Amino acid sequence: MTATDFDKLAKIYDAEKISPWNDLYERPNSTELMGDVNGLTVLDAGCGGGKHCADLLAKGAKMHGFDLSEKMLAIAKDMLGDQINFKTANLAEKLPYQDAQFDRILCALAMHYVKDWTTPLSEFYRLLKPGGKVVISTHHPFMDHALAGGEDYFAHTLIEDSWKKPDGTLYVRYWRRPLTQMIEEIKNAGLEIDLIKEPMPLPETQKQFPDAYQKLTTQPRFIFLVLKKPD
């Protein structure tokens, strides 16, 4: 997807007050997997509207963030002001940061928009200090298997989908890849796999969003990867 595509999504994302998928499932789990970030220099890669940045800032992180969409960044800047150094950058290209600049990197729900993971993973390796970690949340291969036709699990497939939101429908395109391919691309970048997790939503999801809770607790939606740059 292009910057224009993400700009179109920004208003709808901003209007959504609370999402079971993001606010009660993905974000709290990503934040937990980031561990103790107090005093650490952290990059939010593909920061969107800045909610993850706000969470990590509250935990004491020295935050940096970038996104492809200027409108998404405008939402983040309106919320956080100059507390965070935001930049415009493309996850699929060389990033405007120094070697070994960060202790931690978060890349939340952005990697499935990238066809080839070679560049972003190599850039994460470059930007991390030795022993640093990156937390990635992305679409679970199982989640998109039916949308891809349900025939070839091992296919690397472009998917076109629509997500109904309170203020409209999001039309999106993203890439589905099998877990085997994810692992190969990670290892090729020189990163080590510290943890693979398929977590549960927050308990309050059951009362607020019973249908979403049923889906999230019986079918994997996102997969979470904790990767480490060797010491």
Per the prediction, the chain carries an average pLDDT of 91
pLDDT digits (tens, 9 = 90+) for 3-16: 555 555 656 565 55
The pLDDT score that the predictor gives to residue 149 is 80
Per the CB < 8 A criterion, the answer to whether 205 and 22 are in contact is no
What's the whole-model pTM score? Answer: 0.92
The pLDDT score that the predictor gives to residue 168 is 64
**From 27-31, 63-67, 76-80, 125-129, the region with the lowest mean pLDDT:** 76-80
Angle, alpha carbons 218-222-228 (nearest 5°): 130
The pLDDT score that the predictor gives to residue 14 is 55
The pLDDT score that the predictor gives to residue 11 is 61
Domains in the chain and their CATH numbers?
Answer: 3-228 (3.40.50.150)
